[in-house]
């Protein structure tokens, strides 16, 4: 397939303008929303084109792909987050490749992370993924269990919780999408009230290509965009 060299730069400019407009319209401060490039299945050459536009935050779903990309993106400056489900047997690998795990959703995973981080004398950032859509196929802690989990994570001093992440219901029903984002925001505020002494829960990672605008209206601080920037995936 042949790609127009400028295509990615154009898309980034468009998306950046959309983010800015949505942020302003929501009465929020300019710069309140960060852009994450979701680079799953995207070849390194195209990721580099995006990084050369001044972007620096990328997200991958799979640890293996994160590892492969790191080798191919050598010499580039970027920050990578894991945004997909993390199996406990991949903990060792992920620590070297991701600055933040956005998909922390269970204590067993936190246990493994903490053990490995102690062994390597490192720390990592994490977001607690909440299954706001309540779709059985999606990962994330159930909304009514989220605050208890965050409370328990207090004891894991190598894991720095920065906030919450969610994937809204896949639907055309805007109210349902909005409900998911509002639920995450409410949980964030409660977490801040209850556990603000040990953590800082400012980050709300929500909004993808399809529902970015709604997410920004509801308080997102990171939108995760794949298709809006790199086009349709195979
Ligand atoms: C793929 C993916 C995205 C990006 O989705 P697009 O529709 O391509 O913008 C965002 N978040 C997660 C967790 C993903 O898996």
Please work out whether the CB of residue 36 comes within 6 Å of at least one atom of ligand 1: no
What residue ranges define each of the domains in the chain, with the CATH number in brackets? 7-230 (3.20.20.10)
| pLDDT the model gives residue 3 | 54
Nearest CA, atom 10, ligand 1: 224
Nearest CA, atom 8, ligand 1: 226
For residue 106, report the distance from its CA to the centre of ligand 1, in Å.
21
For residue 103, report the distance from its CA to the centre of ligand 1, in Å.
13
Please work out whether the CB of residue 206 comes within 6 Å of at least one atom of ligand 1: no
Please work out whether the CB of residue 207 comes within 6 Å of at least one atom of ligand 1: no
Query: pLDDT band at residue 1, thresholds of 50, 70 and 90?
Result: very low
pLDDT in tens, 4-58: 568 999 999 999 999 999 999 999 999 999 999 999 999 999 999 999 999 999 9
Which atom in ligand 1 lies closest to the alpha carbon of residue 61?
15
Which atom in ligand 1 lies closest to the alpha carbon of residue 84?
13
| pLDDT the model gives residue 53 | 96
Q: Phi and psi of 131, rounded to 5°?
A: -85, 75
Which atom in ligand 1 lies closest to the alpha carbon of residue 36?
10
pLDDT in tens, 161-190: 999 999 999 999 999 999 999 999 999 999
């Amino acid at each position: 397939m042949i790609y127009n060299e400028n295509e990615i730069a154009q898309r980034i400019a468009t998306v950046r303008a959309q983010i800015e407009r949505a942020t302003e319209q929501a009465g929020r401060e300019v710069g309140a929303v960060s852009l994450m490039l979701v680079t799953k299945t995207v070849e390194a050459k195209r990721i580099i084109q995006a990084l050369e536009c001044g972007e620096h935050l990328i997200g991958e779903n799979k640890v293996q792909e994160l590892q492969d990309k790191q080798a191919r993106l050598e010499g580039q400056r970027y920050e990578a987050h894991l945004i997909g489900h993390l199996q406990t047997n991949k903990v060792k690998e992920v620590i070297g490749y991701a600055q933040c795990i956005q998909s922390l959703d269970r204590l067993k995973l936190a246990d493994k992370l903490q053990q490995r981080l102690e062994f390597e004398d490192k720390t990592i950032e994490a977001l607690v993924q909440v299954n706001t859509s309540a779709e059985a196929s999606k990962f994330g802690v159930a909304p009514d269990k989220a605050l208890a989990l965050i409370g328990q994570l207090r004891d894991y001093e190598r894991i720095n919780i920065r906030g919450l992440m969610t994937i809204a219901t896949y639907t055309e029903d805007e109210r349902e999408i909005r409900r998911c984002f509002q639920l995450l925001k409410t949980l964030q505020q409660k977490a801040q009230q209850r556990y603000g002494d040990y953590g800082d829960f400012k980050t709300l990672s929500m909004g993808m290509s399809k529902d970015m605008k709604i997410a920004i209206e509801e308080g997102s601080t990171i939108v995760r965009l794949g298709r809006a920037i790199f086009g349709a995936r195979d």
